[in-house]
Amino acid sequence: MRLLLVRHGKAEFGPEDADRNLSPRGRADVEAVAEHLKTQKISVARVIHSTLSRARETAEILAASLAPGVHLEELQGIEPWGNVKAFAKLAETWGEDTIVCGHEPFMGEAVSYLMTGNAHAGLVEVKTGTVMALARNPYGEGWQMRWMFTPRIVRGPKREED
């Protein structure tokens, strides 16, 4: 089982944090990441997102490329300050390749917790639009990092239109 943890794309500013949408740059970043994953024939059975708009939008873009027709699932408890340990326990029960779209600092802490047992190990820098693929560690406890991308790595250097 592969767990693809994604931080939402760059979002617009707005008065209500939960309602903030992706910015044009954020959408373009997530579309580039989705396209890149698709060319690598990555597909998933489930797509999950937090209760916040920017994570749902990110999930929609990824699902359109990697899991067309799949029913998006909203999950509580993975908001920016969600419960990392509860999430880890839940993820261990999943059997199918799954995308989870969420936030910082939650996603970085989740990766650190899954890989080391310490949510504050500070293992990763999770920029907007980053995708991190984890699988169960074949050599021991916990999870192993399989690969990780940022939009910047996929899109190349910043361009004028950004």
Partner 1 sequence: MKLYLVQHADAVPKDTDPNRPLSEKGHRDAAKMAAFLLKADVQVDEVVHSGKTRAEQTANVLSKSVWRGNAAIKLPGLGPNDSTDHLIHSAETAGGDLMAVGHLPFMAKMVARCLTGAENGVNVAFEPGAVVCLERTEDGWVLAWMQRPGMLSEA
DSSP 17: G
Quote the tokens at residue 113.
């917790």
19 three-state secondary structure: helix
d(CA 34, CA 161): 20
Whose tokens are 């309602």? That residue is 19
Task: Please select the residue that binds partner 1; options are 21, 23, 83, 116, rule is CB under 8 A.
Answer: 116
123 three-state secondary structure: coil
d(CA 113, CA 83): 11
Q: Within a 13 Å sphere around the CA of 98, how many CA atoms are in the beta-carbon half?
A: 21
Which listed range, 20-28, 70-78, 87-95, 123-131, lies at the site for partner 1 (CB under 8 A)? Answer: 123-131
Measured from the CB of residue 100, what is the shortest distance to partner 1 in angstroms?
Answer: 18
Whose tokens are 């089982």? That residue is 1
| Contact status: 154 vs partner 1 (CB under 8 A) | yes
Measured from the CB of residue 121, what is the shortest distance to partner 1 in angstroms?
Answer: 6
| Contact status: 122 vs partner 1 (CB under 8 A) | yes
Size of the site for partner 1 (CB under 8 A): 27
| Contact status: 148 vs partner 1 (CB under 8 A) | yes
Which listed range, 25-33, 82-90, 91-99, 113-121, lies at the site for partner 1 (CB under 8 A)? Answer: 113-121
Q: Residues interacting with partner 1, by CB under 8 A?
A: 39-40, 115-116, 121-125, 130, 135, 137, 139-140, 142, 144-150, 152-154, 156-157
